[in-house]
Structures are given as C-alpha cells and as structure tokens.
Amino acid sequence: MQKYSQIAALLQQCLDRKSTLKSIILKSSSNQSFVRQAYAIISKAIQYYDQLYQIVEEIKSIQYIDIFDYNLLIVLMLDIFNPQNKKAKKMGGVVARYLKTHKVLIKQLLEQNKIYEQEKKYIYIRALQQLPFESDPDEHIPNLCKVDYDIYSQYLSKNPEFLKGNTYIVQSKSSALPAYLLLRNIKDKIADIIDCCAAPGNKTIQLSHYAKQNNITGKIYAIERDEKRFEILKNRLNKYNCDNVEPLNFDFLTIKPQDYPNVKIALLDPSCSGSGMLQLRMIEASKDDSIQVPENKNEQVTQLSQFQQKMLHHLTFFKKLKLIIYSTCSIYKEENEDVANNFLAHHQKWESVNLFPEWPYRGVDNNQHYVRVPPKESDGFFVAMFKRKE
C-alpha cells in the first residue's frame, strides 16, 4: 500500500503543477520499475481525472469506505483494473478488496469512459543513425522517425542507455518543424543565425545539424537568460557536437544588435502559455481544442502576447536580418495569429512567407501563410515566417 500512497502523492503534485510529470516522478525514486509504473498510472489518471473521480464517487455512494484520499482510490483502481496487469488478482489489502467487490460496475464504468480503450501511441525520434527497432521515416522532416510507443518502451526497458549517447533525440514533430522550415527557406549559405530563446536546446541542436548537412557556414548564437536552463543548454550542445553554436547566457531583449552584425536569420520560440502541450492539456483534463483563451487565463496570455511582440520587435534592429521564424506551443490566437499580424502591421518593411504550402492545417481565418499543428496530430503548435522586403 505504501507504493500506491506514494504514487497518489505524486499525482497530487502533478495536479498542483509543482513541476512537470516527468520531473516529479524521476525525482521521487531511482527504482526504474517504480518510475515506469508511476508514470503509466499518473499519466492515465491525469488524462481522465474527472471521469475517474466520478467513478470513485459512485462506488462510495453504494458502499462507504473511510478513505478520503480519492487519489489513492484512483491510483489503485487504475492498476487493479488495467487489462495489462497480470498480477491484479493477487493484490490484497482492505482498499483493494473494497474495489474488487465492485469490479463489475467499475469495469463497466471504465469501459463507458474509454479509460483503457486501446489506441496506438507514437513518438518521434530524430535519428542521426538507423534506429535499432522498427520505425517509419516522417514524410516531411529529414532524420525524423515515427515509432510505435510500445516498441520504443520495450526496447528502452532492456536498453536504458539508448538515449545516453549523441545519436538519437526524442522530439515531437511540432517541435521539429521550425528549424526544418527555416532551413528549407535559407538561400544564403553564408549566414549567422540567432536562436533567441534556445534552452533546452532541441531546436538549436537540430539547427546545428541541418546547417552542417546543408553546408551553411556561419555561427549560430544560442541565447538563454536563465542560468540553470543555460547550463542544460550548454551540456546538451556539447553532447551533440554542436561546435558551430555559441551559447550565450543573456536576456535576448538586452542584446545589442550591433554586436552581431552578420546575423541574417532568426529563430524565435519565446515563452508561451504551453496550451498546445499534451501534458498541460492532460493536467487540465481538457478535450477542448478551442483557440479562445479561457477567462481565468486572460491576464497571463495578454502578458505573454505583449512579451512575444517585444521579442519580435527587437529583432528588427538587426540590420542584416532577412528571415525570422516565429513559433509557439500554444493554440491560442492571441499568442499566434494576433502576434504575427501585429508585427506585420507595425513593421512595413517585413512581410509574411507562404510557409509549407503542402501542409493541410493553416492559420485562423484561413490565413494561408501561417501553419498550425492541431493537438490531435502532435503537440499543438503555430509557426509563421517573416522576410524583409527587398
């Protein structure tokens, strides 16, 4: 029971947004078996929390039990009635026996809410060498592979060192889009590039590798203002041999453009609400793909939008800058189309680029120059590109 009490406490930390799901679980134990079990249970609990809470309410209304920790009941229920758990029948204890007493009803309610409906899950891995397991190359992005999550997790459990090298990076397709789209629009092979908000570094590393592969010479400046995130960025750049990148521990808004006279290309992926990120959407138990900001987030999103506009505006002072790619992992129009349109309205020397025309998902109001990735396809994402007029 102690193990399940610990998992229930970790679930509450996730619901309270103390940190990310992965971070909370990894800090809790060095036991890999516990980490895997906790991750599976908690991610499922977060995704269906409202429905699971109602199931517990219904069971308690039929037969009362003197346990007020609903998270503990939810965690146990998910593990006991997981079709993949072969040891469930042997689980004992007062709470387990209580739940098993109502197994017919619980199974029926779990089925009605599609809690354990089998649905294939995939992850994306950017591979610099052939993967040691079955995968499909992405139809758009070079070196990106789509992998069945079950195949990946089984391999990882037997080969935990898999991601410790510098050959493979787990990266969503959404996250891989900005650097890919930027590189395919670069015409100048001699150019310095600035990544304005670089940590933790996936896009920077991708940019570095693509620049080398496409013989683009010049320096990539990777800017990060937070000291801890900067250390992570530096370590990852070293790990993945990004010797064409210079990491800088600065606030981008304080940088003097004249100190970087050869910067011609910019990647801006600024702080945002993260409303498109799968984990955040799971925590909020949100199935709503609305691009409108909820009332309780209006102030936060307004402040973020103003910050994003400042970042774009600051880029215009780089005299040789020709190309900007702007992206967020937000689904809100205020952080995406509104920011992009505001930039164009106030900077007449810049225009939007008809980006990735073969991609089916476009901007709000059928704006063909902007790209969206709906949350059902990957993490919800927005990308726009601007070029300086000739």
Quick one: CATH architecture of 173-388? Answer: 3-Layer(aba) Sandwich (3.40)
Report the C-alpha gap between 99 and 87 in whole angstroms: 15
Contacts for 135-141: CB closer than 8 Å, 24+ residues apart? 138/173, 140/173, 140/180, 140/359, 141/173, 141/176, 141/177, 141/180
Q: What is the pLDDT along the chain (390 residues), one digit of tens a residue?
A: 688 889 999 988 888 876 777 778 878 888 878 888 888 888 888 878 888 888 888 888 888 777 778 888 898 888 888 877 767 666 777 777 878 888 788 888 888 777 766 555 667 788 888 899 999 999 899 889 999 888 888 888 888 888 888 899 988 888 899 999 998 898 888 899 999 999 999 999 999 999 999 999 999 999 999 999 999 999 999 999 999 999 999 999 999 999 999 999 999 999 888 877 655 444 443 444 456 676 767 788 899 999 999 999 999 999 999 999 999 998 889 999 999 999 999 999 999 999 999 999 899 887 899 999 887 656 788 999 999 998
SS3 (DSSP) at 95: helix
Listed in sequence order, the residues at least 6 apart from 69 whose beta carbon sits closer than 8 Å to its beta carbon are: 5, 8
- Give the pairing of strands 168-170 and 144-148: unpaired
Question: Which pLDDT score is estimated for 285?
Answer: 39
**Residue 145 annotated to the active site:** no
Answer whether 353's CB lies under 8 Å from 387's CB. Answer: yes
Distance of CA 269 to the CA centre of its chain: 13
Estimate the share of the chain in helix, then strand, then coil, as percent rounded to the nearest 5.
45, 15, 40
Q: Which residues are annotated as a binding site?
A: 197-203, 224, 251, 269
| DSSP assignment of 302-343 | HHHHHHHHHHHHHHTT-TT--EEEEEES---GGGTHHHHHHH
Closest CA to 52 of 38, 27, 72: 72
Q: List binding-site positions for S-adenosyl-L-methionine.
A: 197-203, 224, 251, 269
Q: Which residues pair with 328 in a beta bridge?
A: 382
* 179-to-121, 222, 250 alpha-carbon distances in Å: 25, 13, 21
Please give the pLDDT value at position 281.
43
Q: Measured on CA atoms in the order 335, 272, 169, 226, is the torsion positive or negative?
A: positive
* Nearest to 330, CA basis, from 268, 270, 256, 276: 276
Token duo for residue 194: 């600035």
- Write out pLDDT tens, residues 317-376: 999 999 999 999 988 899 999 999 999 999 999 999 999 999 998 998 878 999 998 876
pLDDT of residue 104: 85
Residues 269 and 206 sit within 8 Å (Cβ to Cβ): no
Q: What is the pLDDT of residue 118?
A: 54
Q: Is the dihedral of CA 370, 373, 374, 380 positive or negative?
A: negative
From CA 79, how far away is CA 88, in angstroms rounded?
7
Instruction: Kindly give the residue spans of alpha helices, DSSP state H, lying in the chain.
Output: 2-15, 21-28, 32-47, 49-62, 70-80, 94-101, 103-112, 149-158, 173-184, 202-213, 227-239, 278-283, 298-315, 337-346
| Interatomic CA distance for residues 211 and 214, integer angstroms | 5
Cα 51 versus chain centre, distance: 24
Give the active site residue among 14, 196, 242, 329.
329
Whole-number pLDDT of residue 89: 63
Q: List the chain domain ranges.
A: 2-112, 122-170, 173-388
Q: What is the maximal distance between C-alpha atoms in the chain? A: 75
Report the b/e string of 244-278 with b at 16+ CB within 10 A.
Answer: bbebbbeebeebebeebeebbbbbbbbebbbbbbb
> Angle of helix 2-15 relative to helix 32-47, nearest 10 degrees?
50
